[in-house]
Amino acid sequence: MTVEEIKIFLDEKVEQYNNTCFIETDPIQIPHIFNEKRDIEIAGFLTATIAWGNRKSILKNARRLMRLMGDAPADFVLQASSKDLEALDGFVHRTFNSTDLRCFIAALRHIYKNHGGLEAVFTKHSTSLSTQPAIHQFKQLFFEVPHAKRTEKHVSDPYKNSAAKRINMFLRWMVRRDFAGVDFGIWEGIPLSSLSCPLDVHSGNVARKLGLLRRKQNDAKAVQELDLSLRRMDPLDPVKYDFALFGLGVFEKF
């Protein structure tokens, strides 16, 4: 297919998948439980953090985590006492355990109390061309609190050549205004054009089959390459094609 034919094909797939039906099987359904901005962004960040592996397991554990926090994630992060934190003991999703979770709560509290919150950090350190510098800086700030070394692996860093799939997905949720009821678009200081595709095995394989990506590894360099391809098709909202690439890979086995 020509570039124009690929664009037409993917635009049709975006329209097919970027609607509220997508929410039914996707981790984004967890932050959709909430209405308040801080609840949405904290629930979104924690859900994105554990969004790897079996999708049913992701949804089950993310919903359990919200219940452990009293279905009030912002209040829990900002006000939970040492006694309240005991409710988190025993939580585990794959290699993410209660030690990591306690650290994440402390780090989020630090981000909100000392750095203005998640939106402020990512907005301050994003550029007009990329959110990847912001992801790197966010990790530095996040781990200013005392933490176990093992927990650092749960926050990716594109400056260490990670694709940072889960944080890029979280940023899509928060920044992208799709008017279709899926992505929230509650952060207004970051341009949609600077977002990167949440690259994983599914979207990567489809992108390669379509000639949008040549690099074999799903890493930061591949994200940069794919960004260029997607931005040529839609300079203003390139990450919308995540719906098409993911849908083709997961639901259509393209």
CA distance 131 to 46: 19
Length of the chain: 254
Assigned token pair, 26: 């996707």
Q: What are the distances in angstroms from CA 150 to CA 68, 97, 110, 160?
A: 23, 10, 19, 16
State residue 173's pLDDT score: 98
Instruction: List pLDDT tens digits, range 148-158.
Output: 999 999 999 99
The residue-averaged pLDDT of 129-155 equals: 97
pTM of the model: 0.96
**Sign of the torsion angle spanned by Cα atoms 67, 94, 53, 43:** positive
Total tally of structural domains belonging to the chain: 1
Give the pLDDT score at 142. Answer: 98
Helices (H) and strands (E) in the chain, counts: 12, 2
Q: What domain range is 213 assigned to? A: 3-250
> Residue 1 — pLDDT band, cuts 50, 70, 90?
confident
How does pLDDT run across 166-193, given as a tens digit for each residue?
Answer: 999 999 999 999 889 999 999 999 999 9
3-state secondary structure of 93: strand
Is pLDDT above 90 for 49? yes
Reported as a single tens digit per residue, the pLDDT across 212-246 is: 999 999 999 999 999 999 999 999 999 999 999 99
- Is residue 168 within 8 A of residue 199, CB to CB? The reply is yes
Q: Which long-range contacts (CB under 8 A, 24 or more apart) does 88-91 make?
A: 91/61, 91/64, 91/65
Residue-wise pLDDT tens digits, 74-107: 999 999 999 999 999 999 999 999 999 999 999 9
The Cα–Cα gap between 22 and 27 comes to 10
Average pLDDT, the chain: 97
For the segment 140-148, the average pLDDT, to the nearest whole number, is 97
Return all residues near 60 (Cβ < 8 A) that are at least 6 apart.
none
